[in-house]
Structure 1
Amino acid sequence: MLKKMSLGDKFFTVFNYFVLVVIACLMVYPLLYVLSASFSNPERIVLGDIWLFPQEFRLDSYITVFQNEDVLIGYRNTIIYTVLGTAINLLFSIMIAYPLSRKDFYGRGVITAFIMFTMFFSGGMIPTFLLIRDLGMLDTIWAIVLPGAVSVYNVIIMRTFFQNIPEELREAAEIDGCSNITFLIRIVLPLSMPIIAVMTLFYGVGHWNAYFDALIYLNDEDKYPLQLFLRQMLIQEDMSGMGSAGSEVLAEHLMQIEGLKYAVVVVASLPMLILYPFLQKYFVKGVMIGSLKG
């Protein structure tokens, strides 16, 4: 391919590849470093001996993490919050985005303006907390999955994707006696799998990494998500050594905490890293098509 290019095009192509390789290395290396550090001797981490591969391979940090029963409870709760929350997000986003994409939907411009208004102005944390309390959702699963049921940004992307579906399909379906709901379920949604996969990834990652809402709205530890349990584990491990009598014991404890931090990062991130490759093929297509028209 390079043989058919001019000298300037060749230089531009090589330069692009070089920049992309550098950016890829900058993004991949921190992940490899965290993974290697989590399997290494904490003393080698503190000494800065970890560069790419684990040093003095150990599983102590992971054993400490999974010996804590709260981690399994947190995994269970986070999976429930992520699956249920993502399903609610997709349902409401589709219910809003599809009507707004229809040219025959009266008042869609006004409704879109009202929806976009919420992107720039909100009541704030305290009014939101009071609302959740008055609705009786404190310390329940609904306090985690309902307040963020709709992302306006994602709705706009989804609406734009729906607008790219040919109008002739709807006209042909109407001639065959297809109702609006049937057209949405049997024609629009199967054609929209790329954007649905992208929204699943966006919403799923958001729910998996969420901790702030749980920190505010939940009091029962049996309902805590994984992120809160891991935060508590690090704090408790960090504080448990503060009263140690000997400086050597304290130094050893701090080194163990250093290894534990990296193991916690891997444990919390691994499910999403596993999920991403299965949705990656839809990712670019869904976002690009969803951004073609405003």
Structure 2
Amino acid sequence: MNDRLAWQALPLDVRAAVQAHTGVVVEAESSSAGRNSAFSASLRTADGLVFCKGGRTNSPQAFMHRNEALVNPLLPRELAPKLRWQVEQDGWLLLGFEHVPGRHADLTPNSADLPLVADAVRRIGAITAPTTDRRIADHWVTALGRENADGLAARAPQYMHGSTLVHSDLNPLNILITESAHVVDWAWWRTGAAWIDPAFVVVRLVAEGHDPAQAEEWAAAQFDAFRSAPTEAVTAFAASLVCLWERRFAGTDVTEAARRWAGFRTANGPRLREDPRAAND
């Protein structure tokens, strides 16, 4: 979503409800990153900064903000900004998070951010996920069905079952670097196999300049779940990303990265563990 509403454009009663939590907002700086919130800004108050985002309760994106509010209490403060409050007023839903003054992660080869990112991904995998029907395997079945997927891509969901918390959108804009890596924008969290988030990182590494072999070697060294994932699980997942992204995000760096990664795996047959039980948590 590119057209951000300014703070002053929010209804008066909505701003009043926010300021009941924050105190008087003296300055608001709209966010340039992200596309799912009608309002997204850093709000300056007498007590400091707070990050606020949200939108209309009847918008297609409203469920994303509710998803974030649901999972946030489970996330360690050193991993993700804590949700301080949420406001539902006059058809608006706004979330207020502690402000993290970080920069977006650099995932290019030899970046000093890579060890921090790896640590954050391991932390996600160690969180006890809630009991939920938000299973990424089910979501993948539905999404692939819309694309009339067949062959290898269509087999991906059978490997994606598990009970591990999965962020599922680990792109550089969703990782803020300070002295550690903070993961934001949890709208798409699901539960699934433990290798899935590491695999999402692999495709992002390829998009940032790593060749597929280097990206996989790095992930295998960092994440036990990726190293032990069945060969076809990861290959089918890579193929499914191409299927899901080539229409919606045609020509983007990440779609081309998914295509390169899937091509590498099908052409070279990198061998990971073949035990199908390793595909799950």
TM bracket, shorter-chain basis: under 0.3
TM-score of the aligned structures, taking structure 1 as reference length: 0.19
Structure number with bigger Rg: 1
Bigger relative contact order (CA 8 A; separation at least 6) = 1
Q: Higher strand share goes to which structure?
A: 2
Q: Higher helix share goes to which structure?
A: 1
TM-score of the aligned structures, taking structure 2 as reference length: 0.20
